[in-house]
Structure 1
Amino acid sequence: MLIAGPIATHGLGGQTDLPIPFPVAVIGGAWALTITFAVVAFAWRKPRFAEPLDIGRPPGVRSWLTLIGTVVTAWVYGALYLGSEQRQDGAVGFFYTWLWVSPVPLALLAGHVWRDLSPWRGAQRLIGRALGRPQGFLRYPSRLGYWPAAAGLFAFVWLELCSPDPGAVASVRWWLGGYAVLTLAGGVVFGPRWFNRADPFDVYSAVVARLSPLVVDRRWRPHNPLRGLPTLPLDRGLIAVVAVLLGSTAFDSFGASQEWQIRDMSTLGDTVALVVFVLVVGLAFVVAAMATGGVSRAQRRELPGDLVHTLVPIVVGYVFAHYLTYLVEKGQRAVIDLLSVDATPSFWLSERPMLVGTLKVAFVVGGHILAVLAAHDRALLTLPRAHRLTGQLAMMVLMVAYTFMGLYLLLSV
């Protein structure tokens, strides 16, 4: 079966694949962040990304993309529930590769194109018009915020990393069946806002799309991607969404280590460890964001929300570092099985471990450098003048810690 075996070993290549010693990679990454912070602290005195991107009214929904998304979705669901064993394997592989990883490069290249591709949004528009309720029957509860999306993302990574048999066709059937029912029902009841806040993959794409250097709100406009990050809509649960994305990737790497594998942990043990990783990532960020002086209690509580968008480059860097070879190679296998053709995937990347190791370091360190720049710019806007530098020190320490742990988990386990 496509997903049989150690499903967590997505990031091919380890410490021995690096063209430079592992300690040098970690020390170099930490110094790169420190030097970046030192330079911008003295040369970057005014916020540059506060002014919103003005592109006018964005184009409407592209129905032809919705048609493509609907056809692909129908093909995968049909293969999963009605197809041959090979096509079922392909559907499972598609679920773990294309559905989970591809939204990141797709969002970077084309913005939040997922909302046009989504068959669930398309179905909601048709049903809403037919029932005379295009905005749904009920108002989406504001207290929920992004929490349903965070729960959905956690449910996905739990199935992949903690469930007894993540590669079983029956497991994926239950997950995708439940996802289809909840997503479509939520869209019909609450309207389009359900997808903006509760659909895990829609929200995932929307978060990453804020870093796209090419597209803003369906319109082609090359720009500095850091200008788009502050436009990420803030709501309850957004920090939890980012914490799940970062924490689960870290746990995925840790779970693939020999030390963890020989423990032969139970489903409960893996679940507890996954929750701990997510909580540590989220709580560490909240504490670092609030660690500044010169602000009131109410302002301090708002700081994590003001800075959460700065973690998006780290999410993108980790996804590329951890899942690149998995998407390219396992993704080929999934498509071959779905189409039931006789072909062999190319393993060009895996055959070049030095390149893979170098890319890992570049993605992780590059993502953190962009995060430092975004955090510094935001601090200039939100922190009191007397604390604009000292108020960033805790976040800088956290970024270095994230870098160290990211490289350690990806390259030495």
Structure 2
Amino acid sequence: MLFALVFITTALFGVMGPASAHGIGGRTDLPLPAWQLVWAAGFAVASSFVALGAFWSTPRLADAAVGRSLLSVRTTGMRVLFSLTRLFGLFLFVIVLIAAWAGNINSAVNLSGDAFLIWFWVGLQVASFLIGDVWRLFNPFETIADGAAWLWARTRGQSLEPVNIDGMTLWPAVGSILVYLWYELAYHSTESPRSIGVFLAVYSVAVLGGAVRHGRSFVRTAEGFAVLFGKLAAMAPLFVEDGRLRARSPLTGLSRLPHTPGTVPFVLVVLGSTTFDGFTRSSFWLGVAGGQVGWDRTITSTVGLLVIVGLVAMVYFVAMSMMSSLTGEDASELSEIFGPTLVPIAAAYAVAHYFSLLVLDGQRMIIQISDPLGKGWDLFGTKDYAINFTLVSPSTIAWVQTLAIAVGHVLAVAAAHDVAISRYDHRTAVRSQYPMLFVMILYTVIGLFLLLGA
């Protein structure tokens, strides 16, 4: 059945001829035979499922997630370093705000667009799953919340105590990340420096208001960026626990992600939005919305975004319903238990869709750091830097995209298998994963189809 699906999809792509993979920003110069992507990813998913069923008979991730201690982060030196990184993060945030509000309105020379939409959004996703929760070191929203707590205590004579985040849901984070994704993918003036300034200002006020109302810990459960980067960091080799920096095998941290209400919708919103981003490059979507501008485009894109997110979520929940019929467990409980296993796919989509954007278009930052407001300055002597669009070849980008899709789904299959093997006997665990395998195949095929811009 699996190879039949892969074969049919390959045949359809073959009839269409060579396609062009792309990153965000309209790069369509990456010629890549469609069959290569489809067969590579299909074979990886199929073979990994078979291998896991044959050789992975006991749960492994939870024990390996403990890792080994490297050093204490509670020393005076580490606290000073942490304070410095927080201040640096706040400094960068203020620079972006100033550039957005007072800089050149031309997004090509204003630092705010590339800093926010490329280096922050894409770069921190990559850093999170490769290194760890880097965002915690620089998060200006937490710094602002801490400052507000200090000011509150000084003026009101009472402390702004942190709330117990273990009892909180992630639904506020679902809302905040959806607002950002709407702004990035549906709003018609995303790259305008002034609109970026308005978004960041409103977002900051909302986060600060929540922190004042619910406590400083609210930022970690309601601020969408912090939640996303934290989920991705569960795949990373470095983490902090009980005041110590620890190292573990990659991927193992997924087994320790809490099943907080709202986690599954959060991950599905991220997956669905990236899928929609690819969908907007399709000939079908260009026929629907390609000629629209202004709010007409925003309205159409908003509907499209919500529909695609809904379809991605529907596929997952249907699979959980099928798994429920195989195991006898409640489908909603299963969806929460297996939700974290989708995180590797989110990481894979980030790389596959945005790698070329980060590596090529991201070079504009070298120019913009010398002239952040686009006023003609040359603070660091980099104003005349020429962007090197041959830094990585089209074939290299294509292979990175191919491997990202394949490896991401293989890791998701492995994580789901580990969860299943920890709950059921070996035979039941393998059978229970048939619906998840279906999800992985469907996500793989759809992801590749959209990546090719077919």
TM-score (norm 2): 0.81
Correspondence for 1:36 among 41, 48, 57: 48
- Structure 1: 5+ residue stretches without partners: 1-6
- Aligned CA distance change for structure 1 residues 195 and 381 (closer, same or farther; 3 Å): same
Correspondence for 1:339 among 344, 353, 370: 370
Mean Cα deviation higher: 266-275 or 246-255: 266-275
Q: 2:102 maps to what in 1?
A: 82
SS of match in other structure, 1:388 = helix
Q: 2:83 maps to what in 1?
A: 63
Structure 2 counterpart of 1:212, one-letter code:
A
Q: CA deviation at 1:230?
A: 1.3
Correspondence for 1:309 among 340, 350, 370: 340
Correspondence for 2:431 among 390, 410, 413: 390
SS of match in other structure, 1:263 = helix
Q: 1:409 maps to what in 2?
A: 450
Q: 2:141 maps to what in 1?
A: 120
Q: 2:66 maps to what in 1?
A: 53
Runs of 4+ in 1 over 6 A off after TM superposition: 138-141
In structure 1, distance between residues paired with 2:228 and 2:131: 14
Confirm or deny: 8 A CA contact 2:68 2:247 kept in the other structure.
no
- Aligned CA distance change for structure 1 residues 192 and 115 (closer, same or farther; 3 Å): farther
Structure 2 counterpart of 1:178, one-letter code:
V
In structure 2, distance between residues paired with 1:220 and 1:278: 36
Correspondence for 1:200 among 224, 236, 249: 224
Q: 1:91 maps to what in 2?
A: 112
- Computed over aligned residues only, the root mean square deviation of the Cα atoms, in angstroms, reads 2.6
Correspondence for 2:234 among 193, 197, 210: 210
Corresponding pairs, count: 400
SS of match in other structure, 1:166 = coil
- Aligned CA distance change for structure 1 residues 219 and 403 (closer, same or farther; 3 Å): farther
The answer to whether 1:270 aligns with 2:301 is yes
Which digits, 9 at most, give the CA deviation of each residue in 1:225-263, with x for residues without a partner? 121111112212111111121111111111022331232
Higher relative contact order structure (alpha carbons within 8 Å, sequence separation ≥ 6): 1
Q: 2:24 maps to what in 1?
A: 9
Q: CA deviation at 1:11?
A: 7.0
Confirm or deny: 8 A CA contact 2:283 2:453 kept in the other structure.
no
TM-score (norm 1): 0.89
In structure 1, distance between residues paired with 2:332 and 2:283: 40
- Aligned CA distance change for structure 1 residues 128 and 58 (closer, same or farther; 3 Å): farther
- Structure 2: 5+ residue stretches without partners: 1-21, 372-377
Q: 2:406 maps to what in 1?
A: 365
Q: 2:248 maps to what in 1?
A: 223
Correspondence for 1:255 among 258, 273, 280: 280
Correspondence for 1:106 among 127, 132, 138: 127
In structure 2, distance between residues paired with 1:80 and 1:236: 35
In structure 1, distance between residues paired with 2:211 and 2:301: 33
Confirm or deny: 8 A CA contact 2:89 2:140 kept in the other structure.
yes
- Aligned CA distance change for structure 1 residues 274 and 73 (closer, same or farther; 3 Å): same
Confirm or deny: 8 A CA contact 2:133 2:233 kept in the other structure.
yes
In structure 1, distance between residues paired with 2:180 and 2:299: 16
In structure 2, distance between residues paired with 1:278 and 1:58: 42
Q: CA deviation at 1:277?
A: 1.2
SS of match in other structure, 1:97 = helix
SS of match in other structure, 1:17 = strand
Q: 2:354 maps to what in 1?
A: 323
Q: 2:267 maps to what in 1?
A: 242
SS of match in other structure, 1:327 = helix
Q: CA deviation at 1:140?
A: 7.0
Q: CA deviation at 1:203?
A: 0.7
Instruction: Flag the structure with larger Rg.
Output: 2
Q: CA deviation at 1:49?
A: 1.3
In structure 2, distance between residues paired with 1:239 and 1:186: 22
In structure 2, distance between residues paired with 1:367 and 1:8: 17
Q: 2:8 maps to what in 1?
A: none
Which digits, 9 at most, give the CA deviation of each residue in 1:132-155, with x for residues without a partner? 42425x77795x611121112111
